C-alpha cells in the first residue's frame, strides 16, 4: 500500500511546488499592465470576457503541471528539471524586467520594430531579413546579451510559470522513440535553442547523449553555454536552421522549441527539410510550439490577442498553417501531436 502511494505523494508534492512557482510568475505578470500604463498613459485593451477566459484556462494550466509532475514521479525525467535558480538572482532580475517592460511598451506604442544599439549592427547585418526585428518588442531583439539574460524569466512571466513545463512536453516523445535509453551513442541537434532551457532538460533526461545546439543569436548562445557549462557533451553553433553546414544523416534526433511561430511560412518548410536531411534514416523529428487555430477552440481568442500585444509578424500565418501538414509535405512519417496548455508537440520520423 505504502509503495503504491509513494509516487502519488511525490506527484502531489511536485505539483504543489509547480503551482507555487506558477503563482509567483502570475503575480509578477499582474504588475505589467501598470508598467504599460506608466509608459503610455493608456489602459491595455483586454478581451471583453477576460475573467471567463481566465476561468477557462486555469484547469488547462493545472493539467499541464499535473502531467509534468506525473512524468517526474514516473522517472521519465529527473526531478532536477525543477531545480530553482538562486532566489537572489531571481529577485535582482525583477527591476531589470520592469525597466525592459517599460521600454517595450514605448516601442509597442510607436510601432517601433527595428531598433538596435549601434554596437550590435554588425551582428544584425549578417542575419536574414525576417530576423532583423525586435521580436516581442524586446530591447535589441535577439541580438543583445542583456536581452538573453532576462529572456527566460520574461517567457515564464508571459505564461504564468508554465513555459518550462510546456518545453518538457517533448521529452516523453523522445524517450519513447529511444526506448527509454540514456542517450549513449546518440547525437541530438536542437535548432533555435535560445538560452538553452530545453537543452538543459534534454541533457538531464538523456545523461549520455551528445547535443549540438544551433541558434542565429551569438548572444543567446553565449548565455546558453555559460548556463550549461557543467555539461561537456554540448556544443554550440551559430547558424540559420534552414541552411546548416553540417553533414547529412548525422543526427539521431532534431528538435526545436518555440522557434516555428517566429519564421515566415516558406522558411518553416525549409527548416523541416534541412532537419530531415541531417537525420539518419528512422531518426526523430519533433517540435514544441504554440497551439494553432482550432487545436483548442476555447483558446482561439488568445491566439488572436498574442500578436496584438507582442511583435510577432509571422504568428497570424503560423496559426493558420498546420505544422502537421508541413511535416507531411516534408515527407516525415508517423506524425503525432499532443497538446498542453498553450503548446503543442508535433513529432515525426525521417
Ligand X SMILES: C[S@@+](CC[C@H](N)C(=O)[O-])C[C@H]1O[C@@H](n2cnc3c(N)ncnc32)[C@H](O)[C@@H]1O
> Applying CB under 6 A, which residues contact ligand X?
131, 142, 155, 167, 191-194, 197-198, 214-217, 220, 240-242, 257-259, 262
Residue 201 grid cell: 532538460
Query: CB 337 → ligand X: shortest distance, Å?
Result: 18
Alpha carbon 73 to chain centroid distance?
23
Tell me whether residue 15 or residue 201 sits nearer to ligand X (CB atom). Answer: 201
Residue 38 grid cell: 506608466
Whose CB is nearest to ligand X? 194
Query: CB 49 → ligand X: shortest distance, Å?
Result: 28
Q: In what order do the strands lie in the sheet with 343-349?
A: 234-238, 210-215, 187-191, 251-257, 279-290, 343-349, 333-340
Tell me whether residue 142 or residue 231 sits nearer to ligand X (CB atom). Answer: 142
Query: CB 102 → ligand X: shortest distance, Å?
Result: 21
Tell me whether residue 73 or residue 341 sits nearer to ligand X (CB atom). Answer: 341
Q: Which residues of 277-300 are buried (b: 16+ CB within 10 A; e: fewer)?
A: bbbeeebbbbbbbbbbbebbeebe
DSSP state of 242: T
The answer for residues whose C-beta is within 8 angstroms of residue 124's C-beta and 6 or more apart is: 116, 132, 141, 143
Query: CB 136 → ligand X: shortest distance, Å?
Result: 8
Tell me whether residue 11 or residue 344 sits nearer to ligand X (CB atom). Answer: 344
Query: CB 318 → ligand X: shortest distance, Å?
Result: 12
Instruction: With beta carbons less than 8 A apart as the criterion, state whether 152 and 160 touch.
Output: no
Instruction: With beta carbons less than 8 A apart as the criterion, state whether 158 and 195 touch.
Output: no
Query: CB 62 → ligand X: shortest distance, Å?
Result: 22
Tell me whether residue 259 or residue 272 sits nearer to ligand X (CB atom). Answer: 259
Tell me whether residue 191 or residue 346 sits nearer to ligand X (CB atom). Answer: 191
Tell me whether residue 26 or residue 238 sits nearer to ligand X (CB atom). Answer: 238
DSSP state of 146: H
Instruction: With beta carbons less than 8 A apart as the criterion, state whether 241 and 192 touch.
Output: yes
Cross-strand pairs, 346:
287, 337
Burial class (CB in 10 A: 0-12, 13-18, 19+), 209: buried
Query: CB 262 → ligand X: shortest distance, Å?
Result: 5
Query: CB 254 → ligand X: shortest distance, Å?
Result: 12
d(CA 188, CA 167): 16
The H helix count followed by the E strand count for the chain is 14, 7
Tell me whether residue 274 or residue 296 sits nearer to ligand X (CB atom). Answer: 274
Amino acid at each position: 500500500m505504502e509503495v503504491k502511494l509513494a509516487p502519488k505523494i511525490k506527484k502531489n508534492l511536485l505539483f504543489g511546488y509547480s503551482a507555487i512557482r506558477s503563482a509567483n510568475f502570475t503575480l509578477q505578470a499582474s504588475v505589467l499592465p501598470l508598467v504599460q500604463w506608466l509608459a503610455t498613459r493608456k489602459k491595455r485593451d483586454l478581451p471583453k470576457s477576460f475573467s471567463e477566459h481566465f476561468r477557462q484556462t486555469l484547469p488547462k494550466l493545472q493539467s499541464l503541471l499535473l502531467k509534468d509532475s506525473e512524468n517526474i514521479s514516473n522517472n521519465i525525467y529527473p526531478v532536477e528539471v525543477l531545480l530553482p535558480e538562486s532566489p537572489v538572482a531571481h529577485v535582482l532580475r525583477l527591476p531589470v524586467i520592469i525597466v525592459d517592460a517599460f521600454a517595450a511598451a514605448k516601442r509597442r506604442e510607436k510601432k517601433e520594430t527595428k531598433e538596435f544599439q549601434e554596437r550590435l549592427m554588425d551582428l544584425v547585418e549578417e542575419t536574414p531579413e525576417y530576423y532583423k526585428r525586435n521580436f516581442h518588442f524586446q530591447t535589441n531583439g535577439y541580438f543583445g546579451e542583456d536581452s538573453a539574460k532576462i529572456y527566460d524569466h520574461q517567457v515564464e512571466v508571459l505564461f504564468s510559470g508554465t513555459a518550462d513545463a510546456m518545453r518538457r512536453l517533448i521529452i516523453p516523445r523522445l524517450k519513447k522513440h529511444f526506448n527509454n535509453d540514456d542517450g549513449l551513442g546518440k547525437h541530438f541537434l536542437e535548432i533555435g535553442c535560445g538560452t538553452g532551457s530545453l537543452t538543459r532538460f534534454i541533457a538531464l533526461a538523456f545523461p549520455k547523449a551528445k547535443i549540438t545546439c544551433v541558434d542565429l543569436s551569438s548572444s543567446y548562445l553565449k548565455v546558453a553555454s555559460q548556463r550549461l557549462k557543467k555539461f561537456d557533451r554540448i556544443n554550440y553553433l551559430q547558424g540559420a536552421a534552414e541552411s546548416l553546414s553540417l553533414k547529412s544523416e548525422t543526427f539521431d534526433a532534431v528538435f526545436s522549441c518555440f522557434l516555428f511561430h517566429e519564421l515566415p511560412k516558406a522558411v518553416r518548410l525549409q527548416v523541416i527539410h534541412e532537419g530531415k536531411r541531417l537525420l539518419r534514416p528512422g531518426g526523430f523529428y519533433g517540435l514544441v510550439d504554440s497551439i494553432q487555430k482550432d487545436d483548442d477552440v476555447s483558446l482561439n481568442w488568445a491566439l488572436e490577442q498574442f500578436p496584438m500585444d507582442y511583435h510577432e509578424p509571422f504568428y497570424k500565418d503560423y496559426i493558420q498553417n498546420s505544422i502537421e501538414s508541413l511535416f507531411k509535405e516534408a515527407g516525415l512519417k508517423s506524425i503525432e501531436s499532443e497538446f498542453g496548455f498553450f503548446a503543442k508537440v508535433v513529432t515525426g520520423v525521417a
